Amino acid sequence: MTILETEGLTREYGGVIAVSKVDFQVESGLITGLIGPNGAGKTTLFNNMTGLDTPTAGKVFFNNKDITGYPAHKICRMGIARTFQNIRLFKELSVIENVMIGRHFKTGKDANKGRFLNSLKSYVYLRQEEEEIYEKADSWLDFFDMGSLKNELAKNLPYGHQRELEIARALATEPKLLFLDEPAAGMNPQETDHLMNTIRKIRDLGITIVLIEHDMKLVMNICDTITVLNYGQKLAQGTPMQIKHDPGVIEAYLGKEEE
Ligand SMILES: Nc1ncnc2c1ncn2[C@@H]1O[C@H](COP(=O)(O)OP(=O)(O)OP(=O)(O)O)[C@@H](O)[C@H]1O
């Protein structure tokens, strides 16, 4: 079943066509890789599917609903979460507070509900909600084997843990679909191996994953399906094996990587 798709998605900046008429499909329950050389349009496509940017043409559908142009917070509440290429943690906050912020983002609307007249009721409600948010964040940290680090400041974590903490924060919004933008960037081989296991574990929870990644070992090992962009256009789509042997892909991308 297709959980998300784009139809003819195009994003033009002035004269630059960053993404051109891309039809991209994400199948529910799978890990989809999005690869391509630098400047191919991967992050632009991510931004246009997650509400950080609006396509100049084309459509985005989530569970068959047209979400083109929806703002990021609305898309998040519908069940799509993401991480970014660069680390965006609150470095002076604790590890668990960073995860709780993700959960607050999801529940924020309800927490503000009965603002004035129901202030006492809402105080009790917020206390309860805060405890639930803490418990939930705690269980996500256990999932990431970071339970013992929950009171550390985020800035004191080793790099690989910081990147995984960002994923934990995104998961705290309870998404059905998770976008990861270069999750292994800057990781050493041990950290990358740990990340691969983590991503598989997330998929096994039933969460659909789309990832942009330059690390070919990671992409080829964990993706069920891969889409390749080149100069803003879709060049190929298939299993890792099909992509590995696609002459157009080898010329545009993998060939260069193997040099
Ligand atoms: N806000 C913008 N204004 C103008 N041009 C942009 C903007 N964002 C992206 N571009 C251009 O669009 C093209 C695609 O960029 P994008 O960042 O999406 O590529 P990418 O595949 O994610 O690259 P990388 O692997 O290096 O992160 C590039 O030529 C880039 O310079």
- Per-residue pLDDT reduced to its tens digit, 112-152: 444 555 565 566 667 777 888 899 999 999 999 999 999 99
Residue list, ligand 1 pocket, CB within 6 Å: 13, 16, 18, 36, 38-44
46 or 118, greater pLDDT: 46
What pLDDT score does 128 carry? 76
Region 198-210 average pLDDT? 97
Q: Report which residue type is found at 156.
A: N
Q: Report which residue type is found at 3.
A: I
Flag whether pLDDT at 88 surpasses 90.
no
What pLDDT score does 131 carry? 87
Q: For a pocket test of ligand 1, which of 16, 50, 53 has the largest count of ligand atoms closer than 8 A to its C-beta? A: 16
What pLDDT score does 103 carry? 78
Is residue 26 within 8 Å of residue 240, measured between CB atoms? no
Domains of the chain plus CATH, in order, are: 1-79+175-259 (3.40.50.300), 88-174 (3.40.50.300)
Interval between CA 80 and ligand 1 midpoint (Å): 22
Neighbours of 214 (CB within 10 A): 16
What pLDDT score does 258 carry? 46
Closest approach atom of ligand 1 to CA 53: 1
Q: What percent of the chain has pLDDT over 90?
A: 81
What pLDDT score does 259 carry? 43
C-alpha to C-alpha distance for 61 and 10, rounded to whole angstroms = 14
C-alpha to C-alpha distance for 259 and 248, rounded to whole angstroms = 16
Region 37-61 average pLDDT? 96
List the beta bridge partners of residue 17: 12
Flag whether pLDDT at 255 surpasses 80.
no
Contacts of 51-56 with CB under 8 Å at 24 or more apart are 51/75, 51/76, 53/11, 55/9, 55/10, 55/11, 55/19, 56/10, 56/11, 56/12
What pLDDT score does 111 carry? 45
ipTM greater than cut 0.90: yes
| pLDDT tens-digit readout, 57-82 | 999 999 999 999 999 999 999 999 99
Query: pTM of the predicted model, to two decimals?
Result: 0.89
Q: Are strands 57-62 and 31-35 parallel, antiparallel or unpaired?
A: unpaired
Region 191-216 average pLDDT? 96
Contacts of 258 (CB under 8 A, 6+ apart): none
Q: Report which residue type is found at 209.
A: I
Q: For a pocket test of ligand 1, which of 42, 216, 219, 230 has the largest count of ligand atoms closer than 8 A to its C-beta? A: 42
What pLDDT score does 108 carry? 53
| pLDDT tens-digit readout, 219-247 | 999 999 999 999 999 999 999 999 999 99
Dihedral sign from CA coordinates of 99, 101, 107, 111: positive
